[in-house]
Structure 1
Amino acid sequence: MAITRWGILGAAKFAREHMGPAIHAARNAELVALASSSADRAAPFAAFAPGLRLHDSYEALLADPGIDAVYIPLPNHLHLEWTLRAIAAGKHVLTEKPMAMRAGEFDRLIAARDASGLLVAEAYMIVHHPQWQKVRALIAEGAIGRIDHVDTAFSYDNRADPGNIRNRPETGGGGLRDIGVYTFGSTRFATGAEPVALSARVKLENGVDTWAQVVGEMEGPTGRFTWSSITSMRLFPRQEVVFQGETGLIRVTAPFNAGLFGEAQVELHRSGNSSECWRFPAVNQYVLQVEAFGRSLQEGVPYACPLEFSRGTQAMIDQVFAVATEI
């Protein structure tokens, strides 16, 4: 089996706890290098990836000829710059979401990807999870008929951590950029629909949105349907997506942080009290994401989340900011 050799830019907590171990655990990947000026912050990575090379700068890691692909978990406002620099260095790139701050910035990424022939993608892990692949298949086969309405919700509470990059405007913070990408993108992935008209109300603190309610209409292969989303960094943790159709309902539990928030399940309810439930215990969507990236590189398998898809989600977020009313 061909192996993709990975390097990580920065010793971020998320990389330490999730993506670093996922790269190490993936069958077709090897974590070989980390860029960090702090030996103390690098130590936990070396503990699960023996022989890890430590570079004291991002530039040094990008210059390492022994690295095929780079994972970028930097603060949001740095994603575009360092993704472009990694492409220029000849590396395949997987960058945390949001990969860019505006939809138009994806055009630069797409152009750089096409010119280089490299695989460049946003780390949107849920599309690799069998839970979401099951939802998409059920909708495509007409299990609930024509979709009438979709409800999405994602919330957590980080008010006690004002220094968190999500609470800071200068680092591209805010709930919509952090978790709106899930409530928006999951609907687009599962239904193939795009927004037709949206309205929104937001609450701001220190220049970032901490609560957002978005409602509107989307249209896709099964027709037009109403859609709603609640995202917040100031509410009790909640994650749920519900697809209501003419002949049934699909409820998705733990849809975004499967395994951490709860067990990933897909419930199908139809008339006559008929129901089915698919459970996906012990599935690590981060490992699946790394393995899918590797298969795309090594076998030419189409990647489930190309830049064009990520651009569409960012365009939806941009639209919400354009129409939002502060309350």
Structure 2
Amino acid sequence: MSIVKWGILGASNFALDKMGPAIHAAKGAELVALGTSSAAKAAPFQAFAPGMRVHENYEDLLSDPDIDAIYIPLPNHLHVEWSIKALEAGKAVLCEKPVGMNTAEIDRLIAARDASGLLCAEAYMIVHHPQWQRAQALLKEGAIGELRHVNAAFSFFNDDMGNIRNQAQAGGGGLRDIGVYVMGAARFATGQEPLRLDYARAEMDQGIDLFADMGFAFEGFSYQAFTSIRMAPRQEVHFHGEQAVMSLTCPFNAGIFDQAEIHISRPDQSVTIERFPRVNQYVLQVEAFGRSLKEGAPYDWTLEDARGTQAMMDQVFAAV
């Protein structure tokens, strides 16, 4: 595969800690440019990618002829605007989640993608991790019998009002930050879309959800999940079947929160454990994007997939 040359639009902490190093480490990828007006923010990127150019404004980054793909880690409310600008500049786009603030925004982005003929996707890294690909396969082969219920939890504590997760105008709140995981993961693993929203409640403060609890009905199984940005860290997903329970102990921040594992627990008290150590899902995401861009390989999380999760989120917001 030929090299995909990447530019990063904005020097966010997440780009510095996770995606910048992932692009640098990925096979078939090269981090060639960063858009930021801050030399201080650019310096730590240049420490691991010394040949990287720095553009002082985003427009110059998008007009750089040496860039094939743009990674966008901007605040949530800017995702669609700058993704469309990047597509119009002839660049493929990998944009952080949530890619849009609502389904109407994602529809605009889908239209821009189709008009450009370029690859544009949400950076939903978990679908590239072998833990989730294995969970999907186990459900398809009936490893737990007929699926009857899914429940998921994702929480962490953040009361820093200077953080964009706590700023309504930047698209903050728990649902947009981590709700995409508890909702999208169930859809990815089961291949199903919800039939209806059964209930939703949320604790709101200054325009953002600090806690949200929701239930949906799917064909053949029920679903319950909660998210919080004011609770102790927790993440897990359980698929409860007629014959066994499949649990993912570290479903979202694999290798960071804990080691990624799949446990299948059966009525005879036997437990099968599969472990996935030393896997960097951000690197896998970059490599998958490169294969799709350069070789036309299918990409595991399309904008339409992201829209399905956003449709669930829109229903929850409308109900609380």
Describe the superposition over 1:50-74 as per-residue Cα deviations: whole angstroms up to 9, x where unpaired. Answer: 2110000000000000000000000
Matching residue of 2:205? 205
Task: Output the CA distance in 1 between the equivalents of 2:112 and 2:205.
Answer: 36
Paired AA for residue 54 in structure 1: V
SS of corresponding position for 1:176: helix
Is 2:184 the partner of 1:188?
A: no
Matching residue of 2:274? 278
Matching residue of 2:21? 21
Choose the corresponding residue for 2:304, options 297, 303, 308. 308
- CA shift, 1:24, in A, is 0.2
Matching residue of 2:221? 225
- 1:1-327 maps to which residues of 2 (within 5 A)? 1-159=1-159, 161-198=160-197, 199-219=199-219, 224-324=220-320
Paired AA for residue 323 in structure 1: A
- CA shift, 1:273, in A, is 2.3
Listed as ranges, the gaps of 5+ residues in structure 2 are none
Listed as ranges, the gaps of 5+ residues in structure 1 are none
- CA shift, 1:114, in A, is 1.2
Pick which of 37-46 and 266-275 moved more.
Answer: 266-275
- CA shift, 1:276, in A, is 1.1
Task: Output the CA distance in 2 between the equivalents of 1:240 and 1:53.
Answer: 40
TM-score normalised by structure 1 residue count: 0.96
SS of corresponding position for 1:194: coil
Describe the superposition over 1:1-54 as per-residue Cα deviations: whole angstroms up to 9, x where unpaired. Answer: 310000000100000000000000001100000000011100000010121100
Task: Output the CA distance in 1 between the equivalents of 2:250 and 2:267.
Answer: 24
Give me the CA root mean square deviation. 0.8
Task: Output the CA distance in 1 between the equivalents of 2:230 and 2:51.
Answer: 41
Paired AA for residue 12 in structure 1: S
Task: Output the CA distance in 1 between the equivalents of 2:294 and 2:93.
Answer: 15
- CA shift, 1:311, in A, is 0.4
- CA shift, 1:270, in A, is 2.2
Task: Output the CA distance in 2 between the equivalents of 1:58 and 1:146.
Answer: 50
Paired AA for residue 58 in structure 2: Y
Task: Output the CA distance in 1 between the equivalents of 2:312 and 2:216.
Answer: 11
Describe the superposition over 1:253-291 as per-residue Cα deviations: whole angstroms up to 9, x where unpaired. Answer: 110001110000011122322321110111000000000
Task: Output the CA distance in 1 between the equivalents of 2:204 and 2:110.
Answer: 32
- CA shift, 1:76, in A, is 0.4
Task: Output the CA distance in 2 between the equivalents of 1:309 and 1:87.
Answer: 19
- CA shift, 1:192, in A, is 1.2
Paired AA for residue 119 in structure 1: L
Task: Output the CA distance in 1 between the equivalents of 2:231 and 2:106.
Answer: 31
Task: Output the CA distance in 1 between the equivalents of 2:268 and 2:98.
Answer: 42
Task: Output the CA distance in 2 between the equivalents of 1:83 and 1:300.
Answer: 20
TM-score normalised by structure 2 residue count: 0.98
Paired AA for residue 57 in structure 1: N
SS of corresponding position for 1:74: coil
Paired AA for residue 162 in structure 2: G
- CA shift, 1:195, in A, is 1.6
